[in-house]
């Protein structure tokens, strides 16, 4: 491989990891808005629908995963970006802005308190998270027959100055709708989440969980570290 190509590949990879596609599109949109206020509404409609650039899924190496996904087909279309067909009408894809209408918040309420979040509040938070480059990677398993989000997991990519400007990953808000339990969906999400954290270059990946879920996470090599404490202050 010649060096120009190596460098180009690296840049493309880094762009994907940094969500630069989304950022560049946003910049284009801002430029267009400045040029012509009359197209503001149209621009709002073409905002990227995904929380993160789904092309990052292309960087995952399925051979490195714990479970076997021979039957999972990697696919791509405008509606779902790069995504995986898991069979039985289920796909794994990036969270979309319109998942507000697909029961995403109801699903999260099976994990903890969500509150009464309006569409506007949801979209405002979505946009704020989307604009944090390379930070929030919420992936969902979506039932294309029922048009519902069946399960979700978020990888938070926390960039740091320590560890040679390294990054730490956090697994957050893992939840499977009670109607979809027993189909190993949490394991599938965890496998993809762990691989994503690896691709993002995290030096460690951590999570908080209740005692009864420890065995699940231990299957993915999460361990209670010696002499480490998890402390929490609530407000």
Per CB under 6 A, the segment of 2-10, 22-30, 38-46, 201-209 that binds ligand 16G is 201-209
Query: By C-beta, is 22 or 171 nearer to ligand 16G?
Result: 171
Secondary structure tally for the chain: helices H, strands E: 8, 7
User: Please, what is the minimum distance in Å from the beta carbon of residue 62 to ligand 16G?
Assistant: 23
141 binds ligand 16G (CB under 6 A): no
Half-sphere exposure for 206 (CA within 13 Å, toward CB): 11
Per CB under 6 A, the segment of 85-93, 109-117, 124-132, 188-196 that binds ligand 16G is 109-117
Give residue number: closest CB to ligand 16G.
Answer: 112
190 binds ligand 16G (CB under 6 A): no
Per CB under 6 A, the segment of 21-29, 64-72, 93-101, 204-212 that binds ligand 16G is 204-212
209 binds ligand 16G (CB under 6 A): yes
Answer for which of 43, 159, 172, 206 binds ligand 16G (CB under 6 A) is 172
189 touches 139 (CB < 8 A): yes
207 touches 222 (CB < 8 A): yes
Per CB under 6 A, the segment of 10-18, 25-33, 139-147, 167-175 that binds ligand 16G is 167-175
User: Please, what is the minimum distance in Å from the beta carbon of residue 223 to ligand 16G?
Assistant: 14
Answer for which of 64, 88, 208, 225 binds ligand 16G (CB under 6 A) is 208
d(CA 105, CA 101): 9
The neighbouring-strand residues paired with 180 are none
Q: Nearest 5°: CA angle at 174, between 170 and 177?
A: 170
Identify the CA nearest to 93 among candidates 53, 127, 122: 53
157 touches 137 (CB < 8 A): yes
Task: Please give the structure tokens belonging to residue 25.
Answer: 């599109």
User: Please, what is the minimum distance in Å from the beta carbon of residue 156 to ligand 16G?
Assistant: 9
């Amino acid at each position: 491989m010649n060096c120009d190509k190596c460098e180009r590949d690296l840049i493309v990879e880094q762009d994907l990891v940094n969500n630069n596609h989304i950022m560049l599109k946003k910049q284009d949109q801002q430029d267009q808005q400045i040029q012509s206020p009359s197209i503001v509404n149209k621009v709002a409609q073409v905002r990227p629908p995904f929380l993160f650039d789904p092309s990052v899924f292309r960087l995952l190496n399925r051979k490195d995963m714990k479970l076997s996904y021979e039957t999972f087909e990697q696919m791509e279309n405008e509606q779902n970006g790069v995504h995986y067909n898991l069979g039985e009408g289920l796909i794994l894809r990036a969270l979309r802005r319109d998942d507000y209408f697909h029961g995403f918040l109801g699903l999260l309420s099976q994990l903890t308190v969500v509150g009464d979040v309006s569409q506007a509040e949801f979209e405002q938070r979505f946009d704020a998270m989307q604009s944090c480059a390379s930070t929030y990677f919420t992936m969902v398993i979506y039932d294309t027959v029922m048009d519902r989000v069946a399960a979700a997991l978020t990888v938070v990519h926390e960039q740091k100055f320590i560890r040679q400007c390294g990054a730490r990953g956090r697994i957050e808000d893992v939840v499977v709708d009670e109607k979809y339990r027993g189909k190993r969906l949490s394991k599938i999400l965890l496998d993809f989440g762990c691989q994503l954290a690896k691709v993002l270059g995290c030096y460690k990946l951590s999570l908080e969980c209740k005692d009864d879920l420890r065995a699940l996470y231990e299957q993915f090599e999460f361990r209670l570290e010696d002499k480490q404490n998890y402390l929490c202050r609530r407000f």
